Amino acid sequence: MKLTKVETFRIRPRWLLLRLETDDGLIGWGEPVVEGRAATTQACIHELEPYLLGADPRNVEDIWQTIYRGGFYRGGPVLTSALSGIDQALWDIKGKALGVPVHELLGGRVREKMEVYSWIDSDTPEICAKSALEKKAQGFRNIKMLGTGRIGWINDSRAITGLLEKVQAVRDAAGPDFGIAIDFHGRAHQGTAKTLLKELEPLKPLFVEEPVLVENIDVFERLHRFTSIPLATGERNYTRWGFKDLLERGCVDIIQPDLSHAGGISEVRRIAAMAEAYDVALAPHCPLGPVALAACLQVDFACVNACIQEQSIGMAYNKGQEIGDYLRDKSVFQYRDGFVSLLRGPGLGLEVDEDKVRAMEEPDLAWKNPVFRLDDGCVTEW
């Protein structure tokens, strides 16, 4: 079996899909994208074609290592995201060739279903409460919400008060056992993050994500000692070497590698095993499309420390396009009581609607994230 064709498709809302084809007609799908840098990642995929064309796709590990180690300069968001999507597509082909889902090739399932959480709108306390109740009525037991908007370097009482009011509204509406995860998006800095975490403790969040930028690992370490709230991070870390220091320092409770950024199925399986050795939970980051979610779930089903899975249905980013829109069988990701059932189909466990993908392709699609500025005009974290 040999790889004979590499294709990429930019589709709404902000996704990039990869299609690999073999000489015997098998198709593998991956989702390699850096949000806001899709064109750059797409170019990287095609620059890596010489490592793919003519190779046996069943040799997943050899191809992974060749791409990673074959370049003198390695790692980072673009190169590793390209490798991630390639890795997903290779596992998809291998599973299809053997007629089994990927989790069977990773050692077999450790669970029959995986708990997921849903994002809620969080513009005001009233909207937060209403959105949380809607998700609870749909069977979700956990939600995630943004912590703050623009925030400066020192304590911002308006931002702190606003967040507390929103979280309190969700807690009052949904009850004491409802999980509330809060994503700071790396927007806060050390001084404000300490105040936010202290004030949030009585509300018992499920976890706080990226209270500060992960590159400030020494600050992350101090915050971890300072608070009783579980801290999560990892969406902007790449490969096992990007998680090594976090785990060794003991400054994270939940790691969130992204299957489309951190190195794909192969690498996140290794990262999960590293985390298990440090008694750290796995909750893959996934605000992306159907292929990325399927890849996440294949790892979740094979990892005992996987605790909860992000998914993008209903996210503000999607704007009319949902993950089921590009699938032949939309019921694959049908949630029941806040869980998604074991994916039993071969490969990644889903069938991409190739005709729909080709029809919806937008070669010049260029989603960009907003640029935040403080009141004085200084740029700040988004």
State how far the Cα of 270 lies from the Cα of 106, in Å rounded to an integer: 11
State how far the Cα of 245 lies from the Cα of 287, in Å rounded to an integer: 25
Q: 363: burial class by Cβ within 10 Å (0-12, 13-18, 19+)?
A: exposed
Instruction: Please check whether residue 228 is in contact with residue 203, taking contact to mean a CB–CB distance below 8 angstroms.
Output: no
Closest CA to 94 of 50, 51, 68, 64: 64
Helix axes 38-47, 76-98, angle to 10 degrees: 60
The encoded tokens of residue 125 equal 């306390």
- 189 an active-site residue? no
- 285 an active-site residue? yes
Q: 59: burial class by Cβ within 10 Å (0-12, 13-18, 19+)?
A: middle
**Alpha helix stretches (DSSP H) within the chain:** 38-47, 49-52, 60-70, 76-98, 102-105, 125-137, 157-174, 190-200, 217-226, 239-249, 264-277, 290-300, 354-360
State how far the Cα of 166 lies from the Cα of 106, in Å rounded to an integer: 41
Catalytic residue of the set 103, 185, 224, 261: 185
State how far the Cα of 170 lies from the Cα of 212, in Å rounded to an integer: 23
**Residues belonging to the active site:** 185, 285
